[in-house]
Chains A and B, each alone.
Chain A
Amino acid sequence: MMRALRIIGVTIFILSLWHLLVVLTGLPAFILPSPARVGMALVGNLELIAHHASVTMAEVMIGLLLGAVLGVITAISLAQSPVARVVVRPMMVLSQALPVFALAPVLTLWLGYGLWPKIIMALLIIYFPVTSAFFDGLMQTPRGMLDQARVMQARPWQIMRHIRIPAAIPALASGLRLAAVYAPIGAIIGEWVGASQGLGYLMLLANGRAKIDLMFAALIVLAVLTLLLHASVDRLCSYVVRRQQA
Chain B
Amino acid sequence: MSNSPTLHFHGSATIAGTSIFDPLDLDIAAAKWTCLLGASGVGKTTILRLLAGLGDHIDHVGSIKISDGQPLAGRISLMAQTDNLMPWLDVFDNIVIGNRLRGDAVDGDRAEKLIAQVGLAAHRHKKPNALSGGQRQRVALARTLMEGRPIVLLDEPFSALDAKIRAEMQELAAGLFAGKTVCLITHDPGEAARLGDIIFVMNSTGLHSVTPPSSPVIRPYDAPDVLACQGQLLRLLRETP
Contact = CB atoms under 8 A, between A and B. Distances in A.
25 contacts: A145-B84, A147-B80, A147-B84, A151-B52, A151-B53, A151-B76, A151-B78, A152-B77, A152-B97, A152-B101, A152-B147, A153-B74, A154-B102, A158-B101, A158-B103, A162-B101, A163-B86, A166-B86, A169-B88, A244-B88, A245-B88, A245-B127, A245-B129, A246-B127, A246-B130
Contacts of A166: 86, 88
Interface in B84-111: 84, 86-88, 97-98, 100-103
Given A151-B78, A152-B147, 8 more contacts: A149-B101, A151-B76, A153-B73, A153-B74, A158-B100, A158-B102, A166-B86, A245-B87
A3 interface: no
B15 to A, nearest CB: 15
A159 interface: yes
Contacts of A169: 88
Across the A-B interface, the 7 shortest Cβ-Cβ residue pairs: A154-B101, A152-B98, A144-B84, A151-B78, A245-B87, A244-B88, A166-B88
Contacts of A112: none
A167 to B, nearest CB: 8
Contact of A153 (B86, B102, B129): B102
A163 B93 CA distance: 12
B159 interface: no
A81 interface: no
Interface string B125-136: 001011000000
A144 B87 CA distance: 13
Contacts of B97: 152, 162
Interface in A162-180: 162-163, 166-167, 169
Interface string A139-163: 0001011011111111100110011
Interface string A208-246: 000000000000000000000000000000000000111
